[in-house]
């Protein structure tokens, strides 16, 4: 596995090749969710590039940028053992200069739900993803459905800017008890981890109600909120794939989302119906 620390170094390794390139952008502290993206990229492409970059511009003041988990040695091993060809591992100065042009999230879809809880977050996400996609120039890029709004905005950015990259949505990988894997789960104490299961339980309740024939968003949300009660809930939302609120669930075009704080840790989860 080659480790590249700057855009020019990475291009030096890729420019001579005309093979398909699969790209998995991450912030490191890799877990089995990340690995499923890497393994799929490995199956579908000639060359696999993974980036590890904790992007400062997507963290708001007071968020966990300085304590975001960093696991350099373990991450390198996981990449190597997963068959990654090139690990892109830049520092902040290799990615950002002073007084830069930035990408701005769309007015509505970028500022509801996650965008409302974390104003400016998606500007930072889109800016760094634009940079990374321009550096790597992949055939396919893999993103998790767990970050549903992020996935939707990145897909939209590639369409709006006529970028010739296939964005591949990947299923959320969960622990056996339902907890969605997240790098931030390491912040949870064992009692908080139990509490965190309420997110996936609430989503399970939504799917059960749908299976019983109830498609009413207001009733489903009320039932989910009941399960989530002890947590500090930021939002429960039922939207279509364009992130427009739905009064009724439409099978094949619905995402049920939840964001809540468990202790000091902010968690998100969702289910695509
Ligand atoms: P992150 O390192 O948290 O920025 O995540 C990097 C990529 O992995 C993003 O596309 C995430 O949506 C995806 N991802 C994170 N957690 C999971 C999971 N549990 N299952 C599948 N993909 C995930």
Confidence of residue 117 (pLDDT cuts 50, 70, 90): very high
Closest ligand 1 atom to the C-alpha of 142?
A: 10
Closest ligand 1 atom to Cα of 146: 12
Band of pLDDT at residue 85, cut at 50, 70 and 90: very high
- If you ran DSSP here, which 8-state letter would residue 58 be given? G
Q: How close is the Cα of 77 to the center of ligand 1, in Å?
A: 18
Q: What was the pLDDT predicted at 139?
A: 97
Looking at residue 33, its pLDDT comes to 98
68: left (phi over 0), alpha (psi -120 to 50) or beta: beta
The CA 24 to ligand 1 mean position distance, Å, reads 9
- Let me know if domain 183-272 sits in CATH 3.30.70.1880: no
pLDDT score for 190: 97
Annotated domain spans of the chain: 2-170, 183-272
Nearest CA to ligand 1 atom 17: 33
In degrees rounded to 5, what are phi and psi of residue 217?
A: -60, -40
Over the stretch 232-244, which tens digit does the pLDDT of each residue have? 999 999 999 999 9
Checking if the pLDDT of 16 tops 80, the result is no
Mean pLDDT over 36-40 rounds to: 98
Q: How far is the CA of 212 from the centre of ligand 1 (A)?
A: 31
**pLDDT, the chain, mean:** 97
Residue nearest to atom 14 of ligand 1 (CA): 144
Say which CATH topology domain 2-170 has. Answer: Rossmann fold (3.40.50)
Ligand 1 centre to CA of 181 (Å) is: 8
Give the mean model confidence (pLDDT) for residues 13-34: 93
Look at residue 57 in the predicted model and tell me its pLDDT. 98
Q: What is d(CA 94, CA 55) in angstroms, rounded to the nearest whole number?
A: 12
Do the domains spanning 2-170 and 183-272 agree at the CATH topology level? no
Does residue 95 register a pLDDT over 90? yes
Is the predicted pLDDT of residue 221 greater than 90, yes or no? yes
**Residue minimizing CA distance to atom 7 of ligand 1:** 26
- Nearest residue CA, atom 5 of ligand 1? 26
Average pLDDT over residues 20-33: 98
Q: Mind listing the pLDDT tens digit for each residue in 251-263?
A: 999 999 999 999 9
For residue range 162-215, what is the model confidence (pLDDT) as tens digits? 999 999 999 999 999 999 999 999 999 999 999 999 999 999 999 999 999 999
Query: For the packed helices 148-160 and 121-136, what is the interaxial angle rounded to 10 degrees?
Result: 60
pLDDT of residue 244: 96
By alpha-carbon position, which residue is closest to atom 6 of ligand 1?
26
- Please give all residues whose beta carbon lies within 6 A of any atom in ligand 1, as ranges: 26-27, 33-34, 36-37, 143-144, 146-147, 170, 172-173, 180-183
Q: Which residues are catalytic?
A: 34
pLDDT higher than threshold 80 for residue 18 = no
Name the band, by pLDDT with cuts 50, 70 and 90, for residue 15: confident
Q: What spacing in Å lies between the alpha carbon of 33 and ligand 1's midpoint?
A: 6
Beta strands (DSSP E) in the chain are 2-4, 21-26, 47-52, 86-88, 140-144, 166-170, 232-239, 255-262, 265-272
Q: How many residues does the chain have?
A: 273
| Atom nearest to 143 CA in ligand 1 | 10
Return the percentage of the chain with pLDDT > 90, whole number.
98
Pocket test for ligand 1, best of 149, 170, 257, 270 (most atoms within 8 A of CB): 170
With beta carbons less than 8 A apart as the criterion, state whether 29 and 70 touch: yes
The pTM assigned to this predicted structure is 0.97
């Amino acid at each position: 596995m080659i480790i590249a620390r700057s855009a020019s170094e990475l291009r030096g390794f890729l420019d001579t090749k005309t093979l398909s390139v699969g790209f998995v952008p991450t912030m490191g502290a890799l877990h089995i969710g990340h690995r499923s993206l890497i393994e799929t990229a490995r199956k579908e492409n000639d060359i696999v590039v993974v980036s590890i970059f904790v992007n400062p511009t997507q963290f708001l003041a007071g968020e966990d940028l300085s304590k975001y988990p960093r696991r350099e040695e373990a991450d390198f091993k996981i990449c190597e053992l997963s068959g990654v060809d090139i690990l892109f591992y830049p520092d902040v100065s290799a990615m950002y200069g002073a007084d830069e042009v930035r990408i701005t999230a769309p007015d509505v879809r970028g500022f509801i739900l996650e965008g409302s809880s974390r104003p400016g977050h998606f500007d930072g996400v889109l800016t760094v993803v634009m940079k990374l996609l321009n550096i790597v120039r992949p055939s396919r890029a893999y993103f998790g459905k767990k970050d549903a709004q992020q996935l939707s905005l990145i897909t939209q950015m590639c369409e709006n800017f006529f970028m010739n990259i296939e964005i591949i949505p990947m299923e959320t990988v969960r622990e056996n008890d339902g907890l969605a894997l997240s790098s931030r789960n390491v912040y949870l104490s064992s009692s908080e981890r139990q509490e965190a299961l309420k997110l996936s339980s609430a989503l399970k309740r939504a799917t059960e109600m749908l299976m019983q024939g109830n498609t009413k968003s207001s009733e489903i949300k009320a039932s989910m909120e009941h399960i989530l009660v002890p947590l500090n809930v930021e939002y429960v939302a039922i939207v279509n794939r364009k992130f427009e609120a739905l009064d009724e669930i439409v099978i094949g075009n619905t995402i049920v989302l939840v964001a809540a704080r468990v202790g000091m840790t902010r968690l998100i989860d969702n289910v695509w119906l």
